[in-house]
Amino acid sequence: MPFDYDAIIAGAGAAGLVAAIHAAERGRRVLLLEKGKKPGVKILMSGGTRCNITHDCDSRGIVQAFGANGKFLHSALAALNPRETVALFNAEGVATKVEDTGKVFPVSDRALDVLDALLKRLARSGATLALTEPVKDIEPQPEGGFRVHTPTRTLTAERVLLTTGGKSFPGCGTTGDGYALATKFGHTIVPTSPALVPLTVQPGWIGELRGITLPDINLKVLPPEGKTLTHRRGSMLFAHFGLTGPAPLDVSRAVSGHAKPSSLTLEADFLPNEPEQAFDAYLQAESQASGKKQLAVVLSDKLPRRLADQLLSLCGMAVDRKAAALAKPDRLALVAAVKRLRLPLRGTLGFEKAEVTAGGVTLDEVDSRTMQSKRAPGLYFAGEILDLDGWIGGYNFQSAWSTGWLAGAQL
């Protein structure tokens, strides 16, 4: 029996778009279904509407960003690595730049340019894009292939690819629809939690420092007992609700995935380049040499003044205290506040503000060489629906481009 399409793809996000392009350019008859009014909405929102396309590193750097699950990406990255991803967008007229952090952005700083390039290539490929048409159900056919049900029609296809995303930024339409479809075919879903999401903290004074950015800080997430759950170094921004920026976002997975996030503590090292002994020696020297200076002024040589004032208060010292005759107990209290400040956590801002989803279709049940289901031949997965979440910095987009591209080569 002839099929309506060779391949039907559910979800026109990053992974779905490149998969449709690659499959259609191979001469396959491809239908890309999107439940929203527009394709690629999350692409438009990402990177503060600039779209952090990938990270300036080799494939090993991408694998490392995904921790234990990173090895799943070897074949996908062999199909499309970061350098080839940049070349793909360059070829479509999107010039790119590498920022100091290693993040790769379009020179224009416009995510719209990234999406437009994909849509132009999709149109050239011959794939069909259908908007406001969600996949409601997928049924295997006894004679092979699948029936795909949408609210308005039933279609047949030899192969089906699920690129429906996770649960992050549900306003984009990513509400976890694909998990039920995967479960129907015998797949296990690793419990999901928000990742790359801002942290909420208990101390109210954090909100008073909103707007302050620290370019280099080291954060650790500590349980009530036992080893450090995770740690990450990078920049951080104080916000009215708590903490955001690369370092808090990167450690957030351990917080949201914990059974009792409010039992956790965040330990902050505000001067990660300076050993404790060196900072202690600095305070001693300044106390002797600059005794008439306010201690807050001494600290503000290394930290923002508002933060310096707050740390003094936390140590029980007056904000206008002079540096002279800084007693050892006070000095050691300041060293601890700067190098090992402990902040009780509340949790995170949840899926509503999460950039990616931790958890998803378990990787053990998907063939990493092809992205095909090990449970249902002809069914494929790519992108955030899989149990893959990496650091901030373009790594998650690279995972989506690469897994989508590899799946598109099989459809």
CATH of the domain at 160: 3.50.50.60
| Same domain assignment for residues 80 and 157 | yes
| Same domain assignment for residues 172 and 273 | no
| Same domain assignment for residues 365 and 344 | no
| Same domain assignment for residues 112 and 97 | yes
| Same domain assignment for residues 330 and 391 | no
| Same domain assignment for residues 260 and 373 | no
Range of the domain at 151: 5-193+358-408
> How many independent structural domains does the chain possess?
2
| Same domain assignment for residues 310 and 366 | no
Cβ(17)–Cβ(40) under 8 Å? Answer: yes
| Same domain assignment for residues 90 and 149 | yes
| Same domain assignment for residues 135 and 156 | yes
pLDDT in tens, the chain (411 residues): 699 999 999 999 999 999 999 999 999 999 999 999 999 999 999 888 999 999 999 999 999 999 999 999 999 999 999 999 999 999 999 999 999 999 999 999 999 999 999 999 999 999 999 999 999 999 999 999 999 999 999 999 999 999 999 988 777 677 788 999 999 999 999 999 999 999 999 999 999 999 999 999 999 999 998 799 999 999 999 999 999 999 999 999 999 999 999 999 999 999 999 999 999 999 999 988 876 889 999 999 999 999 999 999 999 999 999 988 789 999 999 999 999 999 999 999 999 999 999 999 999 999 999 999 999 999 999 999 999 999 999 999 999 999 999 999 999
| Same domain assignment for residues 236 and 172 | no
| Same domain assignment for residues 48 and 147 | yes
| Same domain assignment for residues 402 and 301 | no
